[in-house]
Each structure stands twice: as C-alpha cells, then as structure tokens.
Amino acid sequence: MGKVIAGMTMSLDGYIDAGALNPDFLELMAAPSFQEMTDNTGAIVMGRNVYDMADPFLWVNDDYEYQVPLVILTHNPPEKYPEGNGKISVQFATDVESAISQATAAAGDKVVQVIGGASTIQQCLNSGLCDELQIDLVPILLGKGLRLLENIDTDKVVLERISVLETTSLRTSITFKVSQANQ
C-alpha cells in the first residue's frame, strides 16, 4: 500500500489562496519533482471547495495533470458530476476516513495525494490518516484568509522534516513525516 501525502501551497505568513500563490504555475508543471509526483500518484482526495473552484465539467478531462481517480470529500455530493475519461473517475465521500479508504483502494501501491483544501488536510492530519505533509512556501505575504495549519491538534500531531527542495525559482517545498504523539 502506498502512502498518503497531504500538500498545499502556503504564503510565508501561513495563508492559502490558490490564485495569489501560483504565479510560477507553468514553471511548477515543468519541474522534475512535480512530474515525479504525478507519475507516483494513484488517487487524489480533495475537498468540495477545491473541486468546485473551477467548473469540474471543464477540468476533469485529458488535460488535468493527475489522470487518476478523484475522491471528493463533501457533506452534499452533487447530483451531476463528470463521468471521467477512463483514467479519471469521480467518487464522493462524506467523511475523511471514507475518502482516504476509497482513494487508498483506488491507488493500489501508489501514493494518495490530498491536495486541499485546508479543512480536508486538517482532518487528515488530526485523524492520523496522513503519512507526509508537503508545504510549498511562496515568498508572498497575504495578511489574511484561510490558514492551512489552523485547527490542528498540536498535542497529537508530530512533524519531522524529511526534505527541503527548491522546486521552482520562487517556491520551496518542505516535506514532513507525520506521526501521532503517544503511538
């Protein structure tokens, strides 16, 4: 079984905002580390807000960088959703444990990537379902918004830095092993 890696881009002051934090998007897509990540990914877990950020009927297609099953964490699955393309499929789960279980089954021995949003990643960390946390830091100060590492049970979640990589000319990726205290 592969591991579960949660990851997101964050400003230096701890906020997340997909629009503001990806000025290097094209450079990131061409980075060897990103290509390796997409090759090693067997399934994706994402929250409903990330799924709905752009019309899923437009992005769930052959152009999406992850051609793997998607598991969307939501309280209210939509009645209509894209069928996929033979590689991408869309499933829904109403709790984080089910989402990770479905994604792990779909991924086989490959990695499950949890790519957002903040609440989804927080739930994975707090429930002990995440093996690694990858934070891409971008030298931008947002000053407000959603904080990725808010609502974390800091008495339970233990992070150990395992790598630091300059992914693009702008971003630095820091990967942490995640464990639970008292395990």
In tens, the pLDDT along 8-54 reads 999 999 999 988 999 999 999 999 999 999 999 999 999 999 999 88
Q: How confident is the model at residue 183 (pLDDT cuts 50, 70, 90)?
A: low
pTM of the model: 0.93
Spans of all domains in the chain: 4-180
Mean pLDDT in residue range 91-108: 97
Mean pLDDT in residue range 143-155: 94
SS (H, E, C) 60-100: CCCCCCCCCCEEEECCCCCCCCCCCCCCCCEEEECCHHHHH
Mean pLDDT in residue range 148-167: 95
Q: In terms of CATH architecture, what is 4-180?
A: 3-Layer(aba) Sandwich (3.40)
Q: What is the pLDDT of residue 153?
A: 94
Residue found by looking up tokens 């499950």 in the block: 112
Q: How confident is the model at residue 1 (pLDDT cuts 50, 70, 90)?
A: low
Number of Cβ within 10 Å of residue 140's Cβ equals 17
Q: What is the pLDDT of residue 19?
A: 85
Query: How far is residue 144's CA from residue 13's CA, in Å, rounded to a whole number?
Result: 9
Q: At what angle do helices 96-107 and 118-126 cross, to 10 degrees?
A: 90
Q: What is the pLDDT of residue 42?
A: 98
Q: What is the pLDDT of residue 61?
A: 87
Largest CA distance in the chain: 45
What is the full DSSP assignment across 129-172? --SEEEEEEES----SSEETTTT--TTTEEEEEEEEEE-SSS-E
Q: What is the pLDDT of residue 182?
A: 75
SS3 label, residue 37 = helix
Number of Cβ within 10 Å of residue 79's Cβ equals 5
